[in-house]
Amino acid sequence: MTRARTAHDLAHGGSVSAVLRDGARIEIRRLRPSDAPVLRSAFEHLSAESRRLRFISSKDQLSERELRYLTDVDGHFHEALAASDPRTGEGLGVARFIRLQDEPHVAEVAVTVIDEWQHRGLGTLLLERLVERARSEGITHFSALISSDNTAMLELLRVAGAEIEPVAGGAGVLEYRTLLADPGLAVDLRDALRSAADGTLRVPTRLRELLVALARQLRL
Protein backbone atom coordinates (compact mmCIF):
# COMPACT_ATOMS: atom_id res chain seq x y z
CA MET A 1 0.00 0.00 0.00
CA THR A 2 1.37 3.44 -0.94
CA ARG A 3 1.97 6.13 1.66
CA ALA A 4 -0.72 8.33 0.06
CA ARG A 5 -3.28 5.52 0.21
CA THR A 6 -2.36 4.78 3.82
CA ALA A 7 -2.78 8.44 4.80
CA HIS A 8 -6.12 8.59 2.96
CA ASP A 9 -7.48 5.48 4.69
CA LEU A 10 -6.43 6.69 8.14
CA ALA A 11 -7.90 10.14 7.51
CA HIS A 12 -11.26 8.59 6.68
CA GLY A 13 -11.42 6.25 9.67
CA GLY A 14 -10.14 3.16 7.89
CA SER A 15 -7.53 0.71 9.12
CA VAL A 16 -4.17 -0.16 7.58
CA SER A 17 -1.88 -3.13 8.13
CA ALA A 18 1.84 -2.88 8.78
CA VAL A 19 4.76 -5.15 9.58
CA LEU A 20 7.38 -4.40 12.24
CA ARG A 21 11.05 -5.12 11.76
CA ASP A 22 10.73 -8.45 13.59
CA GLY A 23 7.95 -9.59 11.25
CA ALA A 24 5.05 -8.94 13.65
CA ARG A 25 1.89 -7.74 11.94
CA ILE A 26 -0.19 -4.92 13.38
CA GLU A 27 -3.22 -2.86 12.42
CA ILE A 28 -3.46 0.91 12.76
CA ARG A 29 -6.61 3.03 12.81
CA ARG A 30 -8.13 6.06 14.49
CA LEU A 31 -9.34 5.62 18.06
CA ARG A 32 -13.11 5.56 18.56
CA PRO A 33 -15.24 6.07 21.70
CA SER A 34 -15.97 2.33 21.66
CA ASP A 35 -12.24 1.71 22.16
CA ALA A 36 -12.33 2.98 25.76
CA PRO A 37 -12.13 -0.55 27.28
CA VAL A 38 -9.18 -1.41 25.01
CA LEU A 39 -7.40 1.82 25.95
CA ARG A 40 -8.00 1.13 29.63
CA SER A 41 -6.53 -2.36 29.25
CA ALA A 42 -3.49 -0.99 27.38
CA PHE A 43 -2.92 1.53 30.17
CA GLU A 44 -2.98 -1.30 32.69
CA HIS A 45 -0.23 -3.03 30.67
CA LEU A 46 2.06 -0.03 31.15
CA SER A 47 4.66 -0.27 33.88
CA ALA A 48 4.79 2.43 36.54
CA GLU A 49 7.86 3.88 34.81
CA SER A 50 6.16 4.00 31.40
CA ARG A 51 3.17 5.76 32.97
CA ARG A 52 5.45 8.30 34.65
CA LEU A 53 7.23 9.07 31.41
CA ARG A 54 3.95 9.44 29.52
CA PHE A 55 2.07 11.56 32.07
CA ILE A 56 5.10 13.16 33.81
CA SER A 57 3.75 11.95 37.15
CA SER A 58 2.63 8.74 38.79
CA LYS A 59 -0.80 7.60 37.64
CA ASP A 60 -2.71 4.52 38.73
CA GLN A 61 -5.69 4.60 36.37
CA LEU A 62 -7.58 6.53 33.71
CA SER A 63 -10.86 8.08 34.83
CA GLU A 64 -14.04 7.76 32.77
CA ARG A 65 -13.71 11.43 31.85
CA GLU A 66 -10.13 10.92 30.65
CA LEU A 67 -11.14 7.87 28.61
CA ARG A 68 -13.91 9.86 26.90
CA TYR A 69 -11.48 12.68 26.09
CA LEU A 70 -8.76 10.36 24.81
CA THR A 71 -11.07 8.35 22.53
CA ASP A 72 -13.40 11.11 21.23
CA VAL A 73 -11.22 12.49 18.43
CA ASP A 74 -12.14 14.40 15.27
CA GLY A 75 -8.95 13.91 13.22
CA HIS A 76 -8.39 17.66 12.78
CA PHE A 77 -7.98 19.28 16.19
CA HIS A 78 -7.35 15.98 17.92
CA GLU A 79 -6.01 12.86 16.21
CA ALA A 80 -5.16 9.53 17.81
CA LEU A 81 -3.85 6.54 15.87
CA ALA A 82 -3.93 3.23 17.68
CA ALA A 83 -2.02 0.04 16.92
CA SER A 84 -3.51 -3.34 17.76
CA ASP A 85 -2.64 -7.01 17.41
CA PRO A 86 -4.94 -8.32 14.64
CA ARG A 87 -4.90 -11.80 16.18
CA THR A 88 -6.14 -10.80 19.63
CA GLY A 89 -7.46 -7.24 19.30
CA GLU A 90 -5.08 -6.19 22.09
CA GLY A 91 -4.17 -2.50 22.11
CA LEU A 92 -0.42 -2.03 21.63
CA GLY A 93 0.20 1.69 21.36
CA VAL A 94 -1.21 5.12 20.54
CA ALA A 95 0.23 8.18 18.83
CA ARG A 96 -1.78 11.39 19.14
CA PHE A 97 -1.63 15.08 18.41
CA ILE A 98 -3.73 17.86 19.90
CA ARG A 99 -3.69 21.18 18.06
CA LEU A 100 -2.82 24.26 20.13
CA GLN A 101 -5.65 26.79 20.16
CA ASP A 102 -3.39 29.86 20.15
CA GLU A 103 -1.02 28.38 17.53
CA PRO A 104 -3.14 26.28 15.15
CA HIS A 105 -0.13 25.26 13.06
CA VAL A 106 1.40 23.59 16.15
CA ALA A 107 0.18 20.41 17.85
CA GLU A 108 1.23 18.73 21.06
CA VAL A 109 2.34 15.16 20.38
CA ALA A 110 2.55 12.03 22.52
CA VAL A 111 3.39 8.41 21.72
CA THR A 112 2.82 5.49 24.08
CA VAL A 113 3.61 1.79 23.51
CA ILE A 114 2.91 -0.97 26.04
CA ASP A 115 6.06 -2.35 27.63
CA GLU A 116 5.97 -5.76 25.91
CA TRP A 117 6.04 -4.10 22.47
CA GLN A 118 8.65 -1.41 23.10
CA HIS A 119 11.97 -1.36 21.19
CA ARG A 120 10.44 -3.11 18.16
CA GLY A 121 9.91 -0.07 15.94
CA LEU A 122 6.22 0.36 16.76
CA GLY A 123 6.57 3.85 18.23
CA THR A 124 8.52 5.02 15.19
CA LEU A 125 5.95 3.58 12.80
CA LEU A 126 3.04 5.16 14.68
CA LEU A 127 4.77 8.53 14.74
CA GLU A 128 5.49 8.38 11.00
CA ARG A 129 1.80 7.79 10.31
CA LEU A 130 0.86 10.58 12.72
CA VAL A 131 3.21 13.01 10.98
CA GLU A 132 1.53 12.23 7.65
CA ARG A 133 -1.87 12.95 9.20
CA ALA A 134 -0.63 16.15 10.84
CA ARG A 135 0.85 17.49 7.61
CA SER A 136 -2.39 16.81 5.76
CA GLU A 137 -4.26 18.83 8.41
CA GLY A 138 -1.97 21.85 8.02
CA ILE A 139 0.22 21.28 11.06
CA THR A 140 3.84 22.32 10.57
CA HIS A 141 5.32 21.79 14.04
CA PHE A 142 5.03 19.31 16.87
CA SER A 143 5.45 20.35 20.49
CA ALA A 144 6.17 17.91 23.30
CA LEU A 145 6.30 18.38 27.05
CA ILE A 146 8.40 15.51 28.37
CA SER A 147 10.37 14.42 31.37
CA SER A 148 14.03 15.41 31.08
CA ASP A 149 15.05 11.73 31.29
CA ASN A 150 12.68 10.55 28.55
CA THR A 151 15.35 9.81 25.96
CA ALA A 152 13.08 7.45 24.02
CA MET A 153 10.61 10.24 23.22
CA LEU A 154 13.45 12.50 22.14
CA GLU A 155 14.56 9.85 19.67
CA LEU A 156 11.01 9.63 18.33
CA LEU A 157 10.86 13.40 17.90
CA ARG A 158 13.97 13.19 15.75
CA VAL A 159 11.98 10.90 13.46
CA ALA A 160 9.24 13.52 13.15
CA GLY A 161 11.44 16.44 12.15
CA ALA A 162 14.83 17.53 10.98
CA GLU A 163 15.63 19.65 14.04
CA ILE A 164 14.57 19.65 17.69
CA GLU A 165 14.56 22.90 19.62
CA PRO A 166 14.19 23.10 23.41
CA VAL A 167 11.62 25.82 24.16
CA ALA A 168 11.23 25.87 27.94
CA GLY A 169 11.91 23.77 31.00
CA GLY A 170 11.81 23.44 34.73
CA ALA A 171 11.39 20.93 37.56
CA GLY A 172 12.66 18.02 35.49
CA VAL A 173 10.33 18.76 32.56
CA LEU A 174 11.36 20.09 29.15
CA GLU A 175 9.28 21.40 26.25
CA TYR A 176 10.56 20.68 22.76
CA ARG A 177 9.38 21.87 19.38
CA THR A 178 10.24 20.33 16.05
CA LEU A 179 9.49 21.30 12.47
CA LEU A 180 7.85 18.42 10.65
CA ALA A 181 10.27 17.33 7.97
CA ASP A 182 9.25 16.62 4.40
CA PRO A 183 8.93 12.81 4.26
CA GLY A 184 11.01 12.59 1.09
CA LEU A 185 13.44 9.80 0.30
CA ALA A 186 14.12 8.77 3.90
CA VAL A 187 10.57 7.56 4.50
CA ASP A 188 10.36 6.04 1.00
CA LEU A 189 13.51 4.06 1.78
CA ARG A 190 12.17 2.91 5.14
CA ASP A 191 8.93 1.80 3.47
CA ALA A 192 10.86 -0.11 0.82
CA LEU A 193 13.06 -1.83 3.38
CA ARG A 194 10.04 -2.84 5.46
CA SER A 195 8.31 -4.17 2.34
CA ALA A 196 11.37 -6.25 1.54
CA ALA A 197 11.48 -7.54 5.10
CA ASP A 198 7.86 -8.68 5.10
CA GLY A 199 8.01 -10.15 1.61
CA THR A 200 5.61 -7.73 -0.09
CA LEU A 201 8.33 -6.20 -2.27
CA ARG A 202 9.21 -8.51 -5.14
CA VAL A 203 12.94 -8.44 -5.78
CA PRO A 204 15.53 -11.12 -6.57
CA THR A 205 16.19 -13.44 -3.62
CA ARG A 206 19.77 -12.30 -3.00
CA LEU A 207 18.80 -8.61 -3.12
CA ARG A 208 15.88 -9.24 -0.78
CA GLU A 209 18.22 -10.93 1.71
CA LEU A 210 20.50 -7.89 1.63
CA LEU A 211 17.57 -5.51 2.11
CA VAL A 212 16.24 -7.55 5.03
CA ALA A 213 19.68 -7.49 6.66
CA LEU A 214 19.89 -3.72 6.15
CA ALA A 215 16.43 -3.18 7.63
CA ARG A 216 17.39 -5.14 10.74
CA GLN A 217 20.67 -3.29 11.06
CA LEU A 218 18.89 0.08 10.84
CA ARG A 219 16.14 -1.18 13.18
CA LEU A 220 13.38 -0.12 10.78
pLDDT in tens, 31-56: 999 999 999 999 999 999 999 888 88
Is the dihedral angle over the CA atoms 155, 123, 181, 169 positive or is it negative?
Answer: negative
Task: Tell which residue, 173, 35, 193, 208, has the closest CA to residue 124.
Answer: 193
pLDDT of residue 54: 86
**Count of residues in the chain:** 220
Task: Tell which residue, 167, 114, 161, has the closest CA to residue 140.
Answer: 161
pLDDT of residue 38: 95
Average pLDDT over residues 99-120: 94
Task: Tell which residue, 36, 83, 97, 99, has the closest CA to residue 62.
Answer: 36
- Which CATH number is associated with domain 3-182? 3.40.630.30
| Residue with more model confidence, 200 or 147 | 147
Query: What does the alpha-carbon distance between residue 71 and residue 36 come to, in Å, rounded to a whole number?
Result: 6
Domain ranges in the chain are 3-182
The reported pTM is 0.78
End-to-end CA distance of the chain: 17
Is the pLDDT at 77 greater than 70? The verdict is: yes
Is the pLDDT at 211 greater than 60? The verdict is: no
Say if CB 41 and CB 112 are below 8 A apart.
Answer: no
